[in-house]
Structure 1
Amino acid sequence: MRHAEEVTFGGSALDRAAELRRDAEAVAALRADPAAAAVVLWRGKPLLEPGPDGAATLVRLPLDHPALEGAHIDILLGREGGAARFAADLSGWTPEDDDTTTVGAFVDASEQRHPGLPETQRFVELRRAMTWLSPRDAELAATARGLLEWHRTHGFCACCGAKSDVAEAGWQRHCPACGRRHFPRTDPVVIMLVTRGNRTLLGRAPAWPEGMYSCLAGFVEPGETVEAAVRREVFEETGVRVGRVRYLASQPWPFPASLMIGCHGEALSEEIDVDPEEIEDARWVSREDVALSFDGSDPGLRPAREGAIARFLLRNWLADRLD
């Protein structure tokens, strides 16, 4: 697919320093470098500094910054210009005045300010801010969020139940009781641009904002190919049969730990029979109507959020850039 690398979180050639993760002395040397810095997150929300024209910068704090006192800084994300970048988790801090009821919601417009940081620096929901960031900042934020969430939910050995330890610069957990090693989890998810002639098949989940429709998606099951998953998920959710399937692009999606595998599926049937246990609604939408939804001219149809691979696939379909 043309322009596949332009998808949000699509990568920025970050030097992840993977060859050093097992070398404790090398990691310690990186940590001791005055140029080392931490990407800071609070409950999965990265610390950002707003910039001009709606842009923002991912904040990198020196490892000895007072605001990081008590934070867990065990994860080596990689190197920028030879200097190490770590992930720091400030989730133990509790904001005094900020409303946290929407934190983690599909739409979270709240921003939290830490008293030890400048007024302009705020913790912002990554799904809301992902298009504000440069490719490098987006990759660092997505990597940090995904790894921190995995550590938060996998603190005990799945084999024996004992508490596990962080290992290999944050890229493993090791069980001291049974010796089992655990690796960060990524769940493969197919997301499908299903077309038939001049129309595409879109669906919506009950929790989405009113009028929002997006490409169908679903998890790949054990023993299943990507192509089979596309056909199964579309049929399960809408009753539409899909024939030819081809890969288009992928997107890391750390909400909480998925790899979105974007595919194009050619529909063999048109009749829709929605499974209400899977989705709320589905409909065929013409190119013209998708274009109108993108510029806000169709109040009854809202596209997937900017930065999501669904919107990326639809935009490239409109521009005839799938091949």
Structure 2
Amino acid sequence: MPPLPDLPDPAHPAHDSMLSRKFGREVANYFSGSPLNRVSFLRTDHSFISKALVHPSTSFLLLNDLAPLAADPTKLAYAKYDDVRKLIGDNPFEKTEAELIKQYNSSVTLPLVLFLGLDERMKDGFEHGIYSGRPFFAVDVTPKGTVEKEALIVIEGLKKKGLQFIEGRMHMSLNAPEAGIYAQARAVLDWNARNPFCGGCGQPTMSINVGTKRVCPPTDFASLSTAQGGATTTLATPRERAACVTRKGISNLSFPRTDPTVIMAVISHDGKRVLLGRQKRWPPYWYSTLAGFCEPAESVEEAVRREVWEESGVLLGRVVIHSTQPWPYPANLMIGAIGQALPDGEKIHLEHDPELEDAKWVEMDDIKEALRVGTSGLGEPAGEGYVEGNLRLPPQTAIANQLLRAVAEGFLEVGEVSKI
């Protein structure tokens, strides 16, 4: 098992300001801290994108069924334009989006190419106006559709170079900066794969804005399939597609989704204990903080109070936001909070929501000891010095760990400077 990666550096840690003096430095969680400037406003600039795509310095992160190309479990591997040219073709972004939409053919698989951003620290000769740095793209090389053969050729070529696609449900061993790059690529590629059809009319959609939006084109060069499953024919002119509400007004695009999720360290009214819960599938002695999805028309604070009551029966008073964590499985934003129980609301009962197998109040000293030697990922061994039967907690790459560490190391202390 590779060692756990360091966490991202907080933004401007040495900068002195009123906010940093009052609340401490910003907390950066794993999967945040990407070194790339997304320059999102340039995604529609086809001259910028087409030039960046073929520049000699450009790096391509390839994903096969969402598994990233890597040199080893701690470090991503990047391809060059020539490595993927067989799959994506000769610069698909030379034409404007309007031209590409007019040429839309739903029977042809267009490999998804996603622009991630510029690494402005790397001065490799790429410039576009006032912007410079190394361009980064992601490409979905999953063998499928009409480009299955080309994708397999690309994959085999990379394997011959000794590279591999890291399989697994989660990838938590990448170094911190590249974990942020991977998280962005995985979340957006997964969203594209889950949205091949229009939510308004059910017809196939097309990826635009270099992978970050989808549109329902008004025409299609693909012929309609027959009841007998007849072969698709090539049309000289595109056919008009059925009317769609998304082509009217301003709702003509589908955007990547991010699902807000609350996760909270709950402290007792006297501040000496922490509420933890466990699910049935977790290993013995393994507990974590409570969590759940925000619902429509609900504030983050309300979601924290509701989820804690539904899962444990505990009633909360004050809730504060601590930090957040992108979670690309598939597209969550974990909003980390700390809440305090009401003096008469600490009784635990699990009758509301059967999600948890157990919930309990844990003394702060036990939390500190578990943070010292009892942290690990699910299915992984605890740290050196752990005594079997004692509390187990999530690793530092999980925001739950950071929330528990905050309350154990001084977040609750009253003073001029907060120890976040």
TM-score over 0.5 (shorter chain): yes
- Is this contact kept in 2: 1:114–1:122, CA < 8 A? no
- Deviation of the 1:248 alpha carbon: 0.6
Q: Which has the higher strand share?
A: 1
- Tell me the amino acid that sits aligned with residue 267 of structure 2: T
Task: Within 5 Å, give how 1:207-226 maps onto structure 2.
Answer: 207-226=281-300
- Deviation of the 1:114 alpha carbon: 6.1
Determine helix, strand or coil for the equivalent of 1:222.
coil
Determine helix, strand or coil for the equivalent of 2:289.
strand
- Tell me the amino acid that sits aligned with residue 43 of structure 1: D
* Aligned residue in 2 for 1:130: 172
Determine helix, strand or coil for the equivalent of 1:214.
coil
1:313 counterpart = 2:403: yes
Q: 1:32 to 1:39 in 2, by over 3 A?
A: same
Q: 1:67 to 1:167 in 2, by over 3 A?
A: closer
* Aligned residue in 2 for 1:65: 83
Match of 1:46 among 68, 75, 82: 68
Q: 1:181 to 1:73 in 2, by over 3 A?
A: closer
- Deviation of the 1:42 alpha carbon: 2.4
Unaligned runs of 5+ in 2: 1-22, 89-109, 123-132, 145-154, 219-243, 375-385, 413-417
Tell me the number of residue pairs that the alignment of Structure 1 and Structure 2 aligns.
Answer: 298
Q: Decide which structure has the larger Cα Rg and report it.
A: 2
Deviations 1:29-77 (A, max 9, x none): 1102111121122222222223xxxx72221111221697469341101
* Aligned residue in 1 for 2:321: 247
- Deviation of the 1:280 alpha carbon: 1.9
Once the two structures are overlaid, the 10-residue window that deviates more, 245-254 or 287-296, is 287-296
Determine helix, strand or coil for the equivalent of 1:194.
strand
Task: Within 5 Å, give how 1:1-323 maps onto structure 2.
Answer: 2-50=24-72, 56-65=74-83, 69=87, 72-80=111-119, 81=122, 82-92=133-143, 116-117=158-159, 118-119=161-162, 121-125=164-168, 127=170, 129-134=171-176, 136-177=177-218, 178=244, 179=247, 180-196=252-268, 197-268=271-342, 269-274=345-350, 275=352, 277-294=354-371, 295-296=373-374, 297-300=386-389, 301-321=391-411, 323=418
Determine helix, strand or coil for the equivalent of 1:46.
strand
- Is this contact kept in 1: 2:69–2:163, CA < 8 A? no
- Tell me the amino acid that sits aligned with residue 166 of structure 1: S
Determine helix, strand or coil for the equivalent of 2:401.
helix
- Tell me the amino acid that sits aligned with residue 289 of structure 2: C
Structure 2: distance between partners of 1:304 and 1:67: 42
- Deviation of the 1:115 alpha carbon: 6.7
Structure 2: distance between partners of 1:45 and 1:212: 27
Structure 1: distance between partners of 2:142 and 2:286: 31
Determine helix, strand or coil for the equivalent of 1:116.
helix
Q: 1:91 to 1:126 in 2, by over 3 A?
A: same
What percentage of aligned pairs have identical amino acids? 38
Deviations 1:98-131 (A, max 9, x none): xxxxxxxxxxxxxxx967334364414473x434
- Tell me the amino acid that sits aligned with residue 115 of structure 2: L
- Deviation of the 1:90 alpha carbon: 2.8
RMSD across aligned C-alpha pairs, in angstroms?
A: 2.3
- Tell me the amino acid that sits aligned with residue 257 of structure 1: A
Structure 1: distance between partners of 2:79 and 2:86: 8
- Is this contact kept in 1: 2:76–2:174, CA < 8 A? no
- Is this contact kept in 2: 1:36–1:85, CA < 8 A? yes
Structure 2: distance between partners of 1:243 and 1:201: 14
Unaligned runs of 5+ in 1: 94-112
- Is this contact kept in 1: 2:63–2:165, CA < 8 A? no
- Tell me the amino acid that sits aligned with residue 191 of structure 1: I
Determine helix, strand or coil for the equivalent of 1:92.
coil
- Deviation of the 1:293 alpha carbon: 2.1
- Tell me the amino acid that sits aligned with residue 62 of structure 1: K
- Is this contact kept in 1: 2:277–2:360, CA < 8 A? yes
- Is this contact kept in 2: 1:37–1:61, CA < 8 A? yes
Q: 1:209 to 1:67 in 2, by over 3 A?
A: farther
Structure 2: distance between partners of 1:67 and 1:25: 19
Once the two structures are overlaid, the 10-residue window that deviates more, 217-226 or 30-39, is 30-39
- Deviation of the 1:174 alpha carbon: 0.5
* Aligned residue in 2 for 1:101: none
- Deviation of the 1:192 alpha carbon: 0.6
- Is this contact kept in 1: 2:394–2:400, CA < 8 A? yes
- Is this contact kept in 2: 1:44–1:125, CA < 8 A? no
Structure 2: distance between partners of 1:305 and 1:245: 24
- Tell me the amino acid that sits aligned with residue 255 of structure 1: Y
- Is this contact kept in 2: 1:194–1:267, CA < 8 A? yes
* Aligned residue in 2 for 1:99: none
Q: 1:68 to 1:316 in 2, by over 3 A?
A: farther
